[in-house]
Structure 1
């Protein structure tokens, strides 16, 4: 948002550029495959910004309902990405790295990091957008924390049985 505000750079391009540059430094930690996967995720997100911003409008017309649904979907998506060692971008990677180093909850780490960025953005642009963004982050990172720390059964639903001895 800040790049868009200061330089009129489309948000999708600013999002992709900042995350791409940040992820170049992440290759030693994430590995090449995870970094490429994460770059794929941020590219998909950037393209989605443009597609949904131009071609779709909310069928509900209520920003608070949209915020709730979007936050839940965002939290589910980030949790899936983190469990697969991908991230939703540079800040997601940094939150995962810090949480592993300090043995902290990745959702809470992500909330604090994004919170600092949002406060800076609020001072420069508009507080109402940031209040909505903070609420979105709180909901989505709560879902990330809950899913990331949840214990799911690892036993397959159906077990193949082979014959012994032959």
Structure 2
């Protein structure tokens, strides 16, 4: 029970860190936080749906497509993570405001918080949702750190987002992903404790 509560607390913290980085720093500058973030920006741009809700829709849809492969417990924990993240995006974006914004500052700080949140979730065996689910599956199947596949997959989505909105987005998104995925791998290398696992498995 203690491990379960600890895991739940860390999932809440990881989701909140992601939401803080995205809602307060990255999304106001239209910088995609990742593949799901890029798609969410496109939905917001085309249909004027709030970023928090758009992000949740994208993440939940991708998660449902993969549920048969990743297992129900993994899915439930990830739903918890993406819900906290989406609520945090809406909360921080609506409650806090930065009067004098600096693009470089927002890019760096937002990416560090994003990577920290994703890393905390992945240390607990929980995906950050969206294409993170795919990256998590690849990292387990090939026994590699999740940062690299996450970066590669996201790049394809960034190209689409940049082509529709602005090509500057692609450059900023790449820098953000480099920073955040580097932080993810740093956190995933930490061996100071054994995370409580959730019975991740491949479909047999």
Alpha-carbon distance in 2 for matches of 1:20, 1:87: 12
CA offset at residue 154 of structure 1?
4.7
What is the total number of aligned residue pairs between the two structures?
Answer: 154
- State the Cα distance separating 1:81 from its structure 2 match: 0.7
1:124-163 equivalence runs, <5 A: 124-148=164-188, 150-154=189-193
* Residue 15 (structure 1) shift: 1.1
TM-score (norm 1): 0.82
Q: 2:51 aligns with which of 5, 8, 11?
A: 11
Corresponding residue for residue 117 of structure 1: 157
- Per mean C-alpha deviation after superposition, the further-off stretch among 73-82 and 60-69 is 60-69
CA contact (8 A) 2:158 2:169 kept: no
Q: Distance in 2 between matches of 1:37 and 1:154?
A: 20
**2:78 aligns with one of 38, 49, 55:** 38
Unaligned 5+ runs, structure 2:
1-40, 195-204
Q: What TM-score results when the alignment is normalised by the length of structure 2? A: 0.68
8 A Cα contact 2:145 2:185, kept in partner: yes
Residues of 1 paired with 2:119 and 2:193: CA distance?
Answer: 17
Residues in 2 aligned to 1:53 and 1:151: alpha-carbon distance in whole angstroms = 31
Q: Within the alignment, does 1:57 sit opposite 2:97 as a pair? A: yes
What stretches of structure 1 of length at least 5 have no aligned partner? 156-166
Structure whose CA Rg is larger: 1
Residue 66 of structure 1 is aligned with which of 97, 106, 121? 106
Greater RCO, CA 8 A, separation 6+: 2
